[in-house]
Structures are given as C-alpha cells and as structure tokens.
C-alpha cells in the first residue's frame, strides 16, 4: 500500500462482528496503518470518538466477517475448456494480452470479498508479484504456476522419481509457492479410471520431499483411491476435491494435519452443464455420482476432525466473482454455517500462511461487510449481499 493512498485510520462501529470461533457480537473495530489496533466487543459498541481523524464507518445492522480465502481457484483461466483461451495475434504482446484477460478476473474476485487466494494452476508468478506491488487489484496470491500431470506438456511422460523432482525444481525456479500434482483423473477421465493413481507411492513421496527441501508445499488433486492415501502419508499439505474420501483416509488426514479442499460448487455446476447436454454424454453418470458422493466425503472429513477450507475451483469469466457461493455449499454439505464460515476464513488463512484470517488486534484488516446475517448462508448466493470489502485496511468495494 502506498503511503499516499493509505488511510489515516478507520473505525467500524456497530456491526455484528465474527470472532475466532465463528460467533458474532456487536463490536467496534479500530484500524490504523492497515492493521487492527483495537477491538471492543460489547452490546451497543459504537463510541463517538474519531481517533486521529479516522474515517468512521457506521455499520449498525450490518455483519462483518474476515476476508474470504479461496484456496483453490484458477485466475489465469477464462474458459471451462482452456484450449479455447483467446491468444495474442501474430506479433502481438502475449503478456499484455494475458494481463488484459486476467485483470477482470482478479478484480471481480477481490470485489466479491476474496482478499487472499491460492491459484491452483494457470497464474504465473509475475501475476502474483504485480498484485503484491499494487499494479493489478486482486486478492494477494500464492501460485502453483503449472500443474504436474502424468503427461508433460511436451507430450512425454512426466512420471519417474528423478524427472518429477526435476519438474518440482523447475516450477520453484519459475516462482511457484505451491506444487500442484494431478494424481487422479477428473470429469473427463476415461470411464472407470477416475480413482486410479497417475503416480506411484514413491513418486508422490518424491514430489512432496523435493518441494519441502525447496520451501514449497504440495496440493494434490485426488478424487479418492490410493492417490489420497499416498498423498496423506507423504505429507502433502492439502487434498483437492477428495470426492470419494473414506473414513480411514479422513482419520489419517486429521492425524497428519492434511487439509481437505472440497470445491463443491464447481462440480454442482459441471453436473448442470452435463444435464443440459453441454458436455459429452459419457460424463453424465459420473457427475451424478460425484454430486451424490461429495457431501458425504465432506461430512466424513469433518466428523474425523480433518480441517476443511474453501476452494471455488472457478476458472471462467462468468464464475470469477461468485466464489462465495461455496460457503453455502459447504454449509449444506454438513459443516453448518459456523464451520463453513471458518473454512472460508480462519482455516484458509492458516493453510496459506501469512495471516490468521481473524478480526483481532494485530491482524491485517481484511474484511467483508454484509447486509444480512451470514449464518443464513443462502445470502452468499446474492452478490449484492456484500456491502463493502476491505483489504489491508483499504476499501476496495
């Protein structure tokens, strides 16, 4: 934040403010230099003082939650089938074209209330750095840069312990904060193969080990099966999707500190696309099974004590900015409102690091002001439920 644009101070008073346990009480919050310097929780907390000429936000009747942390998004994508991404024309400036495509996604995501995000493939380190420098408005980013799959972009196999270690080193050299490993298939996988592991146990362990040595962490796309078991045992930080997660895997994940990132909303939307005939008919039965099994996996993880965080997995122009719908999906899957809100804030911040995701003294003031009680998570299906968004103490919506 530039000293020229940083506010002198900010006082938000009268709002119902979420605490570290997901409960709400009326409070007064004072912000200075982008950080919270005072929180007074009491009935009717308002106060008439204006410390140091601070801006007063009268929020009586509104609800204040920490900034949302989206732990699985694709801000570098603009279409569902990204082979369709527009490209720079002959002689065009590819970087400028990419920036023009991605900038609206970043801005829409921030204005929706997402103040921090982990890009799961598609966003370059340069994009992260431009957001951090204030060149582009958007959520502060951690990036995976590119996804490691069982087929390298050159068409050759990515498998093999030494080759995978080399891939990890290459991605970290390109600025990756996270390593994304595509360990099972997905919606478009060949019939009957979606739970087959694309990598051996030894290969998954090698990826996690190499990343650890280089100061990066690993997120593993795995619907279920041996890939989930091996990723948890190897020490991967998070399992992405986990649609067919078993009780045994959830217990192991809880014991190892592995986080589940379910991404419920995107699969519900893919199922709707399939029902409308917008995807090959061969995937219809699969996505029906997915949307039936997915909430069961979330409940299984929650009951086992596995930490759950919000991830939208959004990657199209019309999806960016609707990230908060995932809160409602998490609540309805069995978390309930309180745990869904914690998944979207505190838990996500803990996974990404760099902040607690709490509205407490000493923390950066990332916050979302809402027009209704978020314990009715259906409000997150309304984009206009968001009244204001603050990032680093600055109002960005």
4, part of any domain: no
The tens digit of pLDDT for each residue in 105-159 reads 999 999 999 999 999 999 999 999 999 999 999 999 999 999 999 864 434 455 7
DSSP 104-136: HHHHHHHHTTEEEEEE-SS--HHHHHHHHTTSS
Closest among 148, 289, 171 to 221, alpha carbons compared: 148
166, part of any domain: yes
5, part of any domain: no
338, part of any domain: yes
**Is 90 in the same domain as 151?**
yes
Closest among 42, 140, 61 to 369, alpha carbons compared: 61
Tokens of 118: 């982990």
Tokens of 328: 């409602």
**Is 60 in the same domain as 81?**
no
What CATH number is given to the structural domain containing 282?
A: 3.20.20.140
117, part of any domain: yes
**Is 301 in the same domain as 159?**
yes
3, part of any domain: no
3-state secondary structure of 87: coil
Total-model pTM: 0.92
2, part of any domain: no
**Is 82 in the same domain as 59?**
no
Q: Where are the alpha helices (DSSP H) in 72-213?
A: 94-111, 125-132, 161-173, 201-213
Full pLDDT tens readout for the chain, 397 residues: 443 455 569 999 999 999 999 999 999 999 999 999 999 987 555 555 666 678 999 999 999 999 999 999 999 886 544 444 444 444 456 677 777 889 999 999 999 999 999 999 999 999 999 999 999 999 999 999 999 998 644 344 557 999 999 999 999 999 999 999 999 998 888 877 889 999 999 999 999 999 999 999 999 999 999 999 999 999 999 999 999 999 999 999 999 999 999 999 999 999 999 999 998 888 899 999 999 999 999 999 999 999 999 999 999 888 999 999 999 999 999 999 999 999 999 999 999 998 889 999 999 999 999 999 999 999 999 999 999 999 999 999 9
**Is 258 in the same domain as 117?**
yes
pLDDT computed for residue 22 by the predictor: 98
Give the structural domain span for 377. 10-67+357-395
**Is 337 in the same domain as 226?**
yes
Distance CA 172, CA 158 (A): 16
**Is 125 in the same domain as 204?**
yes
3-state secondary structure of 95: helix
Q: Which residue has the tokens 């900034």?
A: 67
333, part of any domain: yes
**Is 182 in the same domain as 312?**
yes
What CATH number is given to the structural domain containing 15?
A: 2.30.40.10
Contacts of 282 (CB under 8 A, 6+ apart): 191
- What is the number of domains present in the chain? 2
**Is 368 in the same domain as 322?**
no
Distances (CA, A) of 186 to 118, 241, 267, 276, 336: 20, 10, 10, 19, 27
Give the strand pairing for 394-395 and 386-391: antiparallel
**Is 129 in the same domain as 231?**
yes
**Is 60 in the same domain as 75?**
no
**Is 38 in the same domain as 111?**
no
Contacts of 184 (CB under 8 A, 6+ apart): 194, 195, 196, 197, 198, 221, 222, 223, 224, 225, 227
């Amino acid at each position: 934040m530039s000293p020229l644009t940083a506010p002198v101070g900010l006082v938000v008073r009268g709002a119902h403010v979420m605490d570290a346990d997901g409960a709400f009480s009326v409070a007064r919050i004072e912000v200075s230099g982008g950080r919270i310097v005072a929180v007074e929780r009491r009935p009717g907390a308002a106060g008439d003082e204006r410390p140091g000429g601070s801006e007063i936000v009268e929020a009586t009747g509104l609800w204040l939650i920490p900034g949302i942390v989206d732990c699985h998004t694709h801000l570098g994508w603009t279409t569902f089938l990204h082979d369709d991404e527009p490209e720079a024309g002959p002689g065009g400036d590819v970087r400028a074209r990419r920036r023009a495509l991605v900038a609206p996604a970043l801005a829409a995501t921030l204005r929706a209330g997402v103040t921090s995000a982990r890009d799961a493939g598609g966003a370059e380190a340069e994009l992260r750095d431009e957001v951090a420098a204030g060149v582009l408005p958007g959520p502060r980013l951690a990036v995976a840069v590119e996804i490691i799959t069982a087929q390298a972009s050159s068409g050759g196999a990515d498998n093999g312990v030494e080759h995978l270690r080399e891939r990890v080193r290459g991605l970290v050299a390109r600025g990756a904060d996270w390593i994304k490993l595509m360990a099972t298939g997905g919606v478009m996988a060949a019939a009957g193969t979606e739970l087959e592991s694309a990598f051996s146990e030894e290969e998954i362990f090698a990826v996690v080990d190499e990343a650890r040595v280089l100061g990066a962490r690993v997120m593993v796309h795995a619907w279920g099966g041996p890939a989930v078991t091996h990723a948890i045992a190897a020490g991967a930080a998070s399992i992405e999707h986990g649609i067919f997660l078993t009780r045994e895997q959830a217990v192991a994940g809880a014991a190892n500190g592995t986080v589940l990132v379910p991404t419920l909303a995107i699969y519900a939307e893919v199922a709707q696309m399939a029902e409308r005939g917008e995807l090959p008919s061969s995937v219809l039965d699969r996505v029906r099974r997915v949307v039936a099994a997915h909430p069961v996996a979330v409940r299984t993880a929650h009951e086992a004590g596995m930490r759950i965080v919000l991830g939208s997995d959004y990657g199209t122009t019309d999806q960016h900015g609707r990230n908060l719908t995932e809160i409602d999906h998490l609540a309805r899957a069995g978390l309930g409102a309180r745990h869904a809100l914690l998944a979207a804030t505190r838990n996500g911040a803990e996974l990404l690091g760099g902040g607690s995701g709490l509205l407490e003294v000493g923390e950066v003031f990332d916050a979302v002001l809402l027009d209704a009680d978020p314990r009715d998570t259906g409000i997150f299906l309304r984009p206009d439920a968001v009244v204001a968004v603050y990032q680093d103490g600055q109002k960005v919506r």
